[in-house]
Amino acid sequence: MKKFLLTMVVVIMTTSIIITQTGCTEKPISKTSYYMDTICQITIYDMDGMGEENAESAIDSAFALCAEYESLISATRSESDIYKLNHAGGKAFTCDPRTVSLLKKALHYGELSGGAFDITLGKVAALWDFHDESPKVPSAEAVKEALVGVDYRAVKIDGDVVTLENPGAEITLGGIGKGYVADRAAEHLEDLGVTSAIVNFGGNIIAIGDKDGEPFQIGIEKPFTEQGEIIGSVEAADATVVTSGIYERGFEADGTYYHHILDVKTGWPVENDVVSVTLVGVKGTSADCDAMSTICLTLGVADGLDFIEDIDGVEALFVDQDGVITKTSGWDGVVEK
């Protein structure tokens, strides 16, 4: 866990490169906390008369909301909707409407990706404990057995009633939950009067407004670097920037690198040419970009590029195994270094 926390600190430092203040004299207010297995940082810039105390209160309130959502969607907390659904033995379970909203979005991306994004991968994912200080490769037999429950189409929703029709399946929202909660936190901050801020939840970045009339500059991390190197930056104002990669969580065993992006068909880490992908979308779509980044990492560069080109309002930058950068046709604002 110590190694994981250090990695996430590096991610926060390298994926949120903010431009120097140009005219604002107020000191930014920033706080950091830990939710959904990641370090979460909120920084408020122009407080529009809020004052330091109110800005800190706004961040605390947003973090309290994060805790509330985590208690609903965590797969490991016994009080959560997802935990109870996973242990319902195939019986119908009434969920909080907020949980249902997230499940519907996740199932949408399961359908859109042809099953490449599948939230019923929970039992398989549990076999790969990337947080362990001494992670181990699961047995082929265990993976094969866990795969029996993988099929997002087994999740049925009727109003607020959810049924996991395959008792062997378990839901995990790790590929979309972080972005969803980040969206809700950003909305909450705006409701409290925040007009300029950065919400950074472990690589899911939301820019609220701009900074002194200029867009924020968000750095894009260079994969597999320990010193926080970046390959460039993208401008963001009222936008979300999501970077995901196979370098975020993984371990090496017997000369092979195993990462956390799992193939829903095999239960093993996907094998293709993509190392990382950065998506840029409008504010309020961090959950969508979260899911789509996982889809892109699963598909590879060529198919991932085609997938994003068909999505309105989203652009992408891919980095492949050789360090080659590929962008969608509408990508703009990156300064390569």
User: 311 phi and psi, to 5 degrees?
Assistant: -105, 120
pLDDT band at 334 (very low <50, low <70, confident <90, very high): low
pLDDT band at 16 (very low <50, low <70, confident <90, very high): very low
Query: 189-243: per-residue pLDDT in tens?
Result: 999 999 999 999 998 999 999 998 999 999 998 898 876 788 889 999 999 999 9
Query: 185-197: per-residue pLDDT in tens?
Result: 999 999 999 999 9
**Cα distance between residue 51 and residue 256, in whole Å:** 52
In the chain, beta strands by DSSP E: 29-35, 38-44, 93-94, 155-158, 161-164, 197-201, 204-208, 216-221, 230-236, 239-245, 250-253, 256-259, 274-282, 315-320, 325-327
Higher pLDDT, 2 or 334: 334
Rounded mean pLDDT, 292-297: 97
In the chain, domain spans? 72-164
Rounded mean pLDDT, 52-67: 96
Residue 6 has pLDDT above 50, yes or no: no
Amino acid found at 165: E
Rg (CA), the chain: 20
Going from the C-alpha of 73 to that of each of 104, 144, 201, 333, the distances in angstroms are: 13, 26, 16, 35
Token digits for 306?
Answer: 């085609």
pLDDT of 129: 86
pLDDT band at 301 (very low <50, low <70, confident <90, very high): very high
Residue 296 bridge partners (DSSP)? none
**Could you say which of 3.40.50.970, 1.10.20.10, 1.10.3980.10, 2.60.120.10 is the CATH number of the domain covering 72-164?**
1.10.3980.10
Going from the C-alpha of 195 to that of each of 21, 118, 189, 226, the distances in angstroms are: 15, 35, 8, 33
Token digits for 16?
Answer: 């949120």
